Structure 1
Amino acid sequence: MKYCLQFLFLLILVISEAHAESLMSIQLNQPIRLEADEMRGSYNDERFDAIGAATLRQENLTLHADSIWFDKRKNEAGAKGKVTLMEKSGTLVGDDLLLNFTSGQARLSHAKAHLSEEGFNLSGESIERLDANNYRVTSGNFTACTATPPAWKFGASTVDVEVGGYARARNMVFYLRDIPVFYIPYFFYPVKTERESGLLIPHLGMSRVRGFETYLSYYQVLGRNMDATLLLDSYSRAGLGKGLEYRYIFGEVNRGETFLYHVTGIEGRKDVYAGRWQHSGVLPGEIFLRTNLEYVSDRSYLQDFAVEAKDYNRELVESYLYLSRAWNKTDLSVQGEYISDLSTSTDAYPLSRLPAVHLAILPQRIATTPLYLRLDVQGVHLQQGQTTIGETLLLRPAARLALTPVTGISLDLEAGYRSMLSKTPNDAGDVGFHDLSARLGTRLQRTFISAEGNRSLRHDIEPEISYLHIANGRQADFSELIPENSFLPTDRVTLALTNRLTTRTSDAEGNSLRVERLWLRLSSGYALSADSTAPETILPLRSEVSLNVAEWLTLRSDANYGLEAGEHRWNSVMSGIQLKDRRRDELSIDYYYRDKDEDGDGANYLSGRLKMPLTDQTSFAYEARYSVDGKEFLEHRANLEYRGQCWGVIFTYRERPDDEQFLVNFTLAGLMEQSML
């Protein structure tokens, strides 16, 4: 039969209340309840013992052992045999426990500890509590893996752990299972649940161009809304790379990132570098700001160090800064755009707008009439490299009539006057002429409902005919370089037909789901008089399709087919198919075609992506691009990923005509994994 003794320890102990959240902590002035099969001693004795299935409880702390003793004179307590100490911050188990209430120190032999909030496990010949937040493990192991046995662990002669701080190990050996992998004389990493600064796991790789690659990163927390990553990369054939990534969030809408990278070349390679700043947000005064400023020193930087095809094939680097402010129905925007040509074969620099200012007074309705008035004003400064090409001021007042001559039919008529004042190094003057446009359209709709009434199919047909006329006038030297304000003469009729199929399903609770299954638009036109924008009589036929056959199958296409006499051909095609299933399998195939222009530039290739889980822990992904004209692959990329309970590894293989690369990336649960902004 168990005996029970309950009493208050009203002792003057030098232990702060902060100790309450740490392992092996007993709070002052709190009642302690001690239970055991046999109790020896009394409250007035210097020492008493609890023997047989002994349990000590104080608020959130519980201590189990075969026997527990307390020495009142030394302010010490101990436990022997199957010792288990449990409290909010974690659990300790071992053979022999000694606690000193005066110093707050404790020692547990042949011990194991689990820090629950940090997800951290310790084991060793002994675990010592040095103070409220610091522990020392002798001849032990530590891991953040919760599997039994752990998939990975660190063994060390001594490990000093600061709860909410760092674990520091000496003479450390890293193990996968029980297999030693490598030795480090000194090592530390954060033992925290929040984002914490520290080294990230290195990435290793091999490239035909760059040689053996080692990627080292250091993650630095700068605040709740800012962080940064320092990069140090070694390329045995290319040099040493140094970089910085900086990320920030200010308020609810302002966010951005900065990237800087420099490679010191070796073996005759020149230094290359690049920088980028991207930002999106709202400035004081409700001014919207968006930036994408980029600088690349040399095209070889993109060819050697860019990863995506859209980057390493680039010849142009485009930067812009965009500011806008809206007042009711008035918009003012300022945009600076600079384009740098990295191609060594191009003599002429691309044109840049530094800056372009646009004021738009949106359509204003005149009383209750169907008449609307609007005004567009745009000023542009054009620059080619460091040379100023000219300035232009564009004005277009316009009036629009929105009519409904017959129920269900809309008719829009618009008349405007285009005026341009220009100045170039060789000319200055003005030009102006009128433009007219009209649009007539309607929507026909029919709905088919199932016999049960819970499913329906709606078919919409939207035919429209439009007309655009821009009168002939003298063109300024560079007006054709501003496509959205084209002053080229035009006289054309355009026909379009849009079809939509929409399904709607309802469940027993009345919840409905509407899905657009088909969107198909066909458009073409006829040039009433030949002009430089449409020299052919019949304009190309454009077909735009989006087809959602089912939840797992989507098709899309956007194609232009030339109808001019004697030269029927495709001008451009962008088509694709995507398949997905609930098992997370994914397959997509896309086809891109663009007819060659006067400079001989065009495109004709296929791209595909396959992503599929092989098992619950393993997945495979493959991407490729294939040149239809060249009958060769332009790029391969394959990823094999394993995600275990506590660790993972990603093998990546990339191949393109001028390079071949193999990368290995390890991840360990809880180890140097950062939740970046």
Structure 2
Amino acid sequence: MTRKLPPRRLLAVAAALALVGGQADAHSSPSPAAGASSAAADLACPLGSFHCAPRPVNYAMCRPNALLEFYDPVLMRDSSQRDSSPTQIQAQHVDSSNRSVYRLSGDVRLERADQLLRADRVDYNNDSTDYDARGNVRYQDASQLLAASHMRGNTNDSHGTANDLRYQMLDSRGNGTADLGQMLDAEHTRYTQATYSTCDVGHHVWEVRAKSITIDKVNGVGVARDASMRIGHVPILYLPYFSFPIDDRRKSGFLYPTMGHSGRSGYEISTPYYLNLAPNYDATLDPRYYSQRGPMLGGEFRYLTSRSAGQLEAQYVLKDHGVSDGLADTKGDSRYLVQFSDTTQLWQGWRFVSSYNHASDSSYLYDFGDNLTHSAIYTLGSNVALVGSGKWWNASVGGTIYQNMNPFSTDSGLPYRQLPYANFSMDIPLSNWLEAGVDSEAAAFRKTGYVEGQREDIYPWLAADFGSAAWFVRPKLAWRYTSYQLGSGRQDYGYYGLLGGGTSTPFTDASPSRSLPIVSLDSGLVFDRKASLFGNSYTQTLEPRLYYLYVPYRNQNNLPLFNTNAMTFDYWQLFSPNRFSGADRQMDANNLTAAVTTRLLDESGVERLSASIGQIQYFSPQRVQLPYGQNSVVPPTDWTRSDYVAQLDVRLNDRWRLASAYQWSPNTRRTDMGMLELQRRIGTDGVFNLSYRYRIGLLEQYNASVVYPVSERWRLVGSWTYSVKDRQSVDALAGVEYDSCCVALRLVGRSYVNQAYYGPTPATGLNRRDNAVMFEMVFKGLGSTGGQIEPLLRRDILGYQ
């Protein structure tokens, strides 16, 4: 028989029977029929992307409909209808002789909105709101399933107990069992002899078993006591007290340990502890132990206020008993690393930016760098600045210093300190086709044993922009004035003026300066037509471009080199007003660049092919050059033409990409630069990369990397870089990834150049190598044993997700 009762009468009961932590109502949870919380199919990272978003936790490999057996797929999933919906009751027998107590028996079914309670027998006291459900008790709502042999309690007081409990969270996939569940009040629940896992029901690859689990919804915390973490039936971790979050709020507690090995430090184990001190600041304590060096205490403090954001990281080794290979003897010494950064908003348009990075010695990062993701770092920079910006301007005032972190080199290789520096730039539109601006800087350069002084550089300009979608003409007129006030010191004209190895030369003029105009005219046309290739329709463009640059020659051999270097010549250098970085050199020019680009655009506007080629015609020699050793300067060039520079990017479909660049010198009749990159998507989550890079006199390297899906669960990963110049592999990585419904495993090994030093003799010019192995286990929905492998793979394998 079926009866309809007022909303107050019943199934406030059902809400009280949900003992599983009182899960929040589901508003948009995915359909369990489609695999509970299965993530949507991942979109592959676009080919050529340098930064691919991490893949979300994916439950697609879980069994479809892996739900407790009593799940009703047709039950309403809108929990907002509860208060206004009547209660539907079905039972074979209803006894209402006692007007205060309803006794229902025989396949009892109580349904209201998204709530459904089924049992062999239910007694409900309408006056006291006591309830008692017995025999095959099953409860379902939009967010959870619950089964027990017996439930009883009081709805007004929001307390109750359940025996022989099975539960499943439909939103977060959590499920488990308990001998006894107790709802202490509406916000707190306790389970005795309980388990928890995000694996399929009845197929727990891993689970947490605890003597008791307490759920605190107010603070978003779960606490397990006398708990063990198990893989299959094997316990791998025991904790007398284990706390975990039950929602997205942060909480204090141990993070999962990390384990690894490197040649410099030996075996490493880290057991970080997270401190949720306040909503706007937190800290992490990270005690570590290195088998070859001893214990280390690390920590991190982060803060966020209405005006400031920053973090402080520190590491301290009381006594290092490891081997010292560098110039500094560190064995037996205490060692440390401090890193601090902060950004503080002062007032509208102005902020204070600071960073401080300092290590106890130059070998610190060489010895204690991350054993897997470590790459050679030769300097640590610290900076403090006042930064401002407006609609048409930006400015900064500050200072920068550096610390040498190359354990096999002295401080002579460090850049100049800038104490202080100031920059100001302005760009003002005068009309819809004319704009004016200025770029300026002033800095005091400091470096022991080298010439020191101040430099001011001001670069006002006036530019126009005429054109339409089919053509453009952009003239620009600028003036550059640079002046110096030099103190006593000596300038080393080593390799590019900065790397040492040359002789010292005094400057006789204490106040040298340079002043010159810079005139350029950039112009181009854009033609397009319909084209067909391989049966597909495209729009093809032809874009010729001419760029004229005039800069008169000024002798700049009397100017020091504070922070200037020759930039790498590439396609964009064809249209640059200066081939030197920094203000210490301004090239002379009477040049005309001719270039042409063609593109293929598909019907949706996506660029499928881009090809460009260009060359500079020199009407006068390039007389401004960087000096080198022995008090000499590079003579003016007698070139009449630059290298031919060509580049090509082809993406005829979403699975293949080819990119290349090539530079050939008509003056020396040889290749100065070559680059080739081939990328192919393998399935939806695999990728293969092959590249070759060559720069005359500097490098010649081959690189191959792959993410190869062997099956739905297994992927092989690898990366290899070989240097022809060094005749050795500079970085090799190989690993395997396993993914399943609720657990993912990664095992990666790496052999790499930890530090490179090119000394005056072959004996001192050696690459220092290191080896590392790292294992990572990810328990989906719970956490992982670390996060070092994924950033490395994303860095070394283009397109990794």
State the TM-score, normalizing by the size of structure 2: 0.69
- Contact kept, 8 Å, 2:20 with 2:167, in 1: the verdict is no
Per-residue displacement from partner, 1:40-63 (whole Å, max 9, x unpaired)? 351347x65322112345676543
- Contact kept, 8 Å, 1:38 with 1:52, in 2: the verdict is yes
Q: Between Structure 1 and Structure 2, whose CA radius of gyration is higher? A: 1
What's the RMSD between the two structures over aligned residues?
Answer: 4.5
Please name the residue that 1:671 is paired with.
782
2:369 maps to which of 306, 328, 332? 306
Please name the residue that 1:509 is paired with.
none
When residues 73 and 336 of structure 1 are mapped into structure 2, their CA distance, relative to the original with a 3 A threshold, is: closer
Higher strand proportion:
1
| Paired amino acid for 2:655 | W
- For residues 105 and 398 of structure 1, the distance between their equivalents in structure 2, rounded to whole angstroms, comes to 76
Please name the residue that 1:394 is paired with.
457
| Paired amino acid for 1:552 | R
Please name the residue that 1:464 is paired with.
547
1:553 maps to which of 632, 653, 656? 656
Note the C-alpha offset of 1:382.
0.3
- For residues 373 and 627 of structure 1, the distance between their equivalents in structure 2, rounded to whole angstroms, comes to 47
- Contact kept, 8 Å, 1:198 with 1:219, in 2: the verdict is yes
Please name the residue that 2:736 is paired with.
640
- Contact kept, 8 Å, 1:504 with 1:514, in 2: the verdict is yes
- For residues 523 and 156 of structure 2, the distance between their equivalents in structure 1, rounded to whole angstroms, comes to 89
- For residues 17 and 82 of structure 1, the distance between their equivalents in structure 2, rounded to whole angstroms, comes to 15
When residues 319 and 461 of structure 1 are mapped into structure 2, their CA distance, relative to the original with a 3 A threshold, is: farther
Please name the residue that 1:114 is paired with.
168
Please name the residue that 2:625 is paired with.
532
When residues 54 and 606 of structure 1 are mapped into structure 2, their CA distance, relative to the original with a 3 A threshold, is: same
- For residues 372 and 784 of structure 2, the distance between their equivalents in structure 1, rounded to whole angstroms, comes to 28
The DSSP-based 3-state class of the residue aligned with 1:639 is strand
Q: What are the residue-to-residue correspondences of 1:38-117 with 2, within 5 Å?
A: 38-44=93-99, 49-56=103-110, 61-70=115-124, 76-87=130-141, 90-100=144-154, 104-116=158-170
2:691 maps to which of 587, 590, 601? 590
- For residues 110 and 364 of structure 1, the distance between their equivalents in structure 2, rounded to whole angstroms, comes to 75
1:503 maps to which of 582, 586, 600? 600
The DSSP-based 3-state class of the residue aligned with 2:606 is strand
- Contact kept, 8 Å, 1:189 with 1:198, in 2: the verdict is yes
1:134 and 2:188 equivalent?
yes
- Contact kept, 8 Å, 1:256 with 1:278, in 2: the verdict is yes
1:607 and 2:673 equivalent?
no
1:337 and 2:400 equivalent?
yes
Please name the residue that 2:516 is paired with.
434
2:198 maps to which of 114, 131, 144? 144
2:224 maps to which of 169, 185, 195? 169
The DSSP-based 3-state class of the residue aligned with 1:304 is helix
- For residues 179 and 529 of structure 1, the distance between their equivalents in structure 2, rounded to whole angstroms, comes to 74
- For residues 186 and 586 of structure 2, the distance between their equivalents in structure 1, rounded to whole angstroms, comes to 83
Note the C-alpha offset of 1:333.
3.5
When residues 588 and 304 of structure 1 are mapped into structure 2, their CA distance, relative to the original with a 3 A threshold, is: farther
Deviates more, 1:665-674 or 1:286-295: 286-295
When residues 191 and 394 of structure 1 are mapped into structure 2, their CA distance, relative to the original with a 3 A threshold, is: closer
When residues 525 and 127 of structure 1 are mapped into structure 2, their CA distance, relative to the original with a 3 A threshold, is: same
Per-residue displacement from partner, 1:188-245 (whole Å, max 9, x unpaired)? 3222244444322222223333222212233444666665543232211122233334
Please name the residue that 1:652 is paired with.
748
State the TM-score, normalizing by the size of structure 1: 0.81
1:124 maps to which of 165, 168, 178? 178
1:523 maps to which of 607, 612, 615? 615
When residues 198 and 28 of structure 1 are mapped into structure 2, their CA distance, relative to the original with a 3 A threshold, is: same
Note the C-alpha offset of 1:74.
7.9
- For residues 36 and 364 of structure 1, the distance between their equivalents in structure 2, rounded to whole angstroms, comes to 80
- Structure 1 gap ranges (5+): 507-511, 597-601
Please name the residue that 2:643 is paired with.
541
2:295 maps to which of 235, 240, 251? 240
Please name the residue that 2:681 is paired with.
580
The DSSP-based 3-state class of the residue aligned with 1:99 is strand
When residues 423 and 608 of structure 1 are mapped into structure 2, their CA distance, relative to the original with a 3 A threshold, is: same
| Paired amino acid for 1:548 | V
Q: What are the residue-to-residue correspondences of 1:165-564 with 2, within 5 Å?
A: 165-221=220-276, 228-246=283-301, 258-267=312-321, 268=331, 270-277=333-340, 284-287=347-350, 293-307=356-370, 312-321=375-384, 324-327=387-390, 329-334=392-397, 336-343=399-406, 344-346=408-410, 348=412, 349-362=414-427, 375-384=438-447, 389-396=452-459, 410=473, 412=475, 414=477, 416=479, 418-425=481-488, 428-439=510-521, 441-443=523-525, 445-450=527-532, 455-472=538-555, 475-478=558-561, 481=564, 483-484=580-581, 486=583, 490-506=587-603, 512-515=604-607, 517-526=609-618, 527-528=620-621, 530-533=623-626, 535-538=636-639, 540-541=642-643, 543-550=645-652, 551-558=654-661
- Contact kept, 8 Å, 1:501 with 1:516, in 2: the verdict is no
- For residues 361 and 592 of structure 2, the distance between their equivalents in structure 1, rounded to whole angstroms, comes to 47
The structure, 1 or 2, with the larger RCO (C-alpha pairs under 8 Å, 6+ apart) is 2
- For residues 198 and 732 of structure 2, the distance between their equivalents in structure 1, rounded to whole angstroms, comes to 36
Note the C-alpha offset of 1:664.
1.3
Please name the residue that 2:35 is paired with.
none
Note the C-alpha offset of 1:269.
5.1
- Structure 2 gap ranges (5+): 23-81, 322-330, 490-508, 566-579, 627-634, 754-768, 788-801
Deviates more, 1:421-430 or 1:615-624: 421-430
- For residues 387 and 631 of structure 1, the distance between their equivalents in structure 2, rounded to whole angstroms, comes to 36
- For residues 73 and 372 of structure 1, the distance between their equivalents in structure 2, rounded to whole angstroms, comes to 81
Please name the residue that 2:497 is paired with.
none
Note the C-alpha offset of 1:290.
6.1
Note the C-alpha offset of 1:149.
2.1
- For residues 96 and 409 of structure 1, the distance between their equivalents in structure 2, rounded to whole angstroms, comes to 81
- For residues 99 and 655 of structure 2, the distance between their equivalents in structure 1, rounded to whole angstroms, comes to 78
When residues 55 and 386 of structure 1 are mapped into structure 2, their CA distance, relative to the original with a 3 A threshold, is: farther
- Contact kept, 8 Å, 1:137 with 1:158, in 2: the verdict is yes
| Paired amino acid for 1:191 | I
| Paired amino acid for 2:685 | R
When residues 395 and 415 of structure 1 are mapped into structure 2, their CA distance, relative to the original with a 3 A threshold, is: closer
- For residues 207 and 352 of structure 1, the distance between their equivalents in structure 2, rounded to whole angstroms, comes to 34
| Paired amino acid for 2:91 | A
When residues 109 and 470 of structure 1 are mapped into structure 2, their CA distance, relative to the original with a 3 A threshold, is: same
- Contact kept, 8 Å, 1:542 with 1:558, in 2: the verdict is no
- For residues 402 and 166 of structure 1, the distance between their equivalents in structure 2, rounded to whole angstroms, comes to 61
Deviates more, 1:587-596 or 1:201-210: 587-596
- Contact kept, 8 Å, 2:16 with 2:160, in 1: the verdict is no
| Paired amino acid for 1:663 | M
- Contact kept, 8 Å, 1:51 with 1:67, in 2: the verdict is yes
- Contact kept, 8 Å, 1:401 with 1:414, in 2: the verdict is no
- For residues 104 and 600 of structure 2, the distance between their equivalents in structure 1, rounded to whole angstroms, comes to 75
When residues 19 and 401 of structure 1 are mapped into structure 2, their CA distance, relative to the original with a 3 A threshold, is: closer
| Paired amino acid for 1:312 | S
